[in-house]
Amino acid sequence: MNKDHQVDDNSKNKQLETFRARDYENPMTTNQGLKVSEDEHSLKAGTRGPTLMEDFHFREKMTHFDHERIPERVVHARGYAAHGEFELYESMKKYTKAGFLQEPGSKTPVFTRFSTVAGSRGSAETVRDVRGFAVKFYTEEGNYDLVGNNIPVFFIQDAIKFPDLVHAVKPEPHNEMPQAASAHDTFWDFIANNQESAHMIMWHMSDRAIPRSFRMMEGFGVHTYRFVNEQGESHFVKFHWKPKLGVHSLVWDEAQKISGKDPDFHRRDLWESIENGDFVEFELGVQLLEEKDEFKFDFDILDPTKIWPEEQIPVKIIGKMTLNRNVDNVFAETEQVAFHPGSVVPGIDFTNDPLLQGRLFSYTDTQLIRLGGPNFHELPINRPVCPFHNNQRDGYGRQTINVGQVSYHKNSLATNKPNTSSEQDGGYVHYQEKVEGRKVQARSDSFKDHFSQARLFWNSMSVPEKQHIIEAFSFEVGKVKDMNIRQQVVDMFANVDTDMATKVAQAVGVDAPKNATQSTITESSPALSQENKAKLPHTRKVAVLIADQFDDAVLEPFLKASLDAGMSIDIVSEQFGKLTGKNGATVEVDETFLTVHSVLYDALYIVGGQAKQPKKFEMDLADFVNEAYMHFKPIGAAPDAQKLLDQTNVKPGPGVLTDLTVSGDGKQWADTVAAHRFWDRKLYD
């Protein structure tokens, strides 16, 4: 790697450190630096008299408070973020001249924000929704923003329809309901009348829309971009983030209950993982396509409602992102960070994807209103690590103190500085693509197949995943009040699979589709099924259900094996305090049946305690266990816990380990927890 592109992985941290204010270590002052002698009582005319206008400290404090909030994002308002670094595995010099992709082993600071799309800033996090996945790379050539989602396609093909989509999915304007949900009339009316959304809706109805955590979902750049190398050669490229922990989801009933039990579930998971040293890792992959192959497929590579199947165009893993530091202040960092797909570096360029082209305008526009003007790039979280120089001056929120007379180009007073740079010196030059055509408001015929890839997605799902899609459609469309819209949706998705649509029709009370033209696609893409992703026990959260006089000879090796496998353990009982085992060992209770619930855990281990337990303990434990069993989670029970297990609905079968005494590395237990769900469990025999 050239020295010009070497990145100190601590450079962004050092820069941010200069902006951090440790107020509690210093005397209180006004914003002008004047030390404050009183901060609890305003200045009055007598102890019971009116407040005086000359109390400048009161006025400053109240004015700042009255203006503390900024407009939330129109979409992606509910988000959480973390700092980290990106390490390159393999040089991409053959494909791109982007400096941070040249030298294997080089590290680049990053800031990554995850989000829901539809809900307001205060909405719950486990709703059925797309998740934003935005990464800011602080490179030595400037900031590069990869602004994507956890689903590789989108609802629409042209950005001019984005306001319509968002208006439809947001709460309905006449009653401002429902919050953060797509299960209502206006959304499904939009879908039925904008059938380019078919592929995206199949993903949206799948388990991908209710991820287990931000750490266990894929990320995608969605659009087709360009890599351009030093020789000016171009390759089309799509970006993928692959979580090292695999791709896992909640079940719908569980997701709804978590929204009530802990609406901060996803952000808490991210925060606690990093605080515990379980740093979050994603590998970056790229799909690369030569220009000569642009038209060799049965889909248009520029269509944002289409994937490039990985079996046809493999994903090349080129690096790893590690999120290893939580934010210090959510507002200053997570809320004020400004992402923009137009923030690129030399070697990364755009294509004619009509959705991408519209985003290049919209993102700047929205930051102007949210962050108070054109100087949002000077906020600490948005500042590049490299210096920036231009003739832009003034405006709201300006922090740079420019010196000299000149604020224009060309000039002689400053010997025509700052200078532009040639391509050889790192100046950004747009790829010279030949473009010809009449000015039209139209769409290429190559964009008009809306159902083939929706069918490909359906074909790629496992049997449980298909059932979840049917149930998701049944829930969402069942919430639609207008029966005509219900019928339109059923008829639309008969083009994907008539059997699926018929089952949904039966569930929502409309006619089975007639004269449907089901897609004839028979291929599948195994890469699309979550069942084919990595399954690891690492960071899985396990609740140990326990009472006094527990079998410590069983508990101690279980805890050791679970912790050695990287699991996170909570001791859960009826009340806080210490519990004592049969042989005198003690454990501290982390949570109670009142403060947590089964839906917040990935697996349970029932230890119990003395032979006769209070009835309330037995009832609370049974409720805890039954919920986990209904959600297909791993359940283990120690030998002494069999009587407690007999009082639950749990039946012997997949994912249920009775008389579980863990020894050695606890491989059986670790493998069971890693499996995540046991869909072949018979719940209603």
Q: Which residues are catalytic?
A: 76, 149
**Integer Cα distance of 367 and 339 in angstroms:** 9
Torsion of CA 368, 374, 378, 381, to 10 degrees: 20
**Integer Cα distance of 520 and 506 in angstroms:** 24
Angle at which helices 498-508 and 463-478 cross, to 10°: 40
The torsion angles phi and psi of 136, rounded to 5 degrees, stand at -105, 120
Are 273 and 538 a contacting pair, CB within 8 Å? no
**Integer Cα distance of 355 and 351 in angstroms:** 10
**Nearest in space to 352 (alpha carbons), one of 274, 283, 300, 311:** 300
Residue 137 DSSP label: E
DSSP bridge pairs for 132: 115, 149
Give start and end residues of each alpha helix (H) in 103-225: 162-169, 185-192, 198-204
**Nearest in space to 143 (alpha carbons), one of 108, 194, 179:** 108
**Integer Cα distance of 227 and 286 in angstroms:** 10
- For the chain, counts of helices (H) and of strands (E): 16, 18
Are 321 and 110 a contacting pair, CB within 8 Å? yes
**Integer Cα distance of 281 and 214 in angstroms:** 11
Write out 520-583 in H/E/C secondary structure: CCCCCCHHHCHHHCCCCCCCCEEEEEECCCECHHHHHHHHHHHHHCCCEEEEEECCCCEEEECC
Residue 639 burial (CB count, 10 A): 13
For residue 643, CA distances in Å to 164, 227, 608, 646 come to: 57, 63, 9, 5
100 CB-near residues (< 8 Å, 6+ apart)? 5, 7, 86, 88, 106, 108, 137, 139, 140, 141, 144, 345
Are 229 and 94 a contacting pair, CB within 8 Å? yes
Q: Record the tokens describing residue 8, joined without a space.
A: 């100190």
**Nearest in space to 79 (alpha carbons), one of 117, 43, 129, 33:** 117
Beta strands in 244-389 (DSSP E): 280-290, 316-326, 348-349
**Nearest in space to 449 (alpha carbons), one of 92, 157, 66, 70:** 157
**Integer Cα distance of 535 and 302 in angstroms:** 33
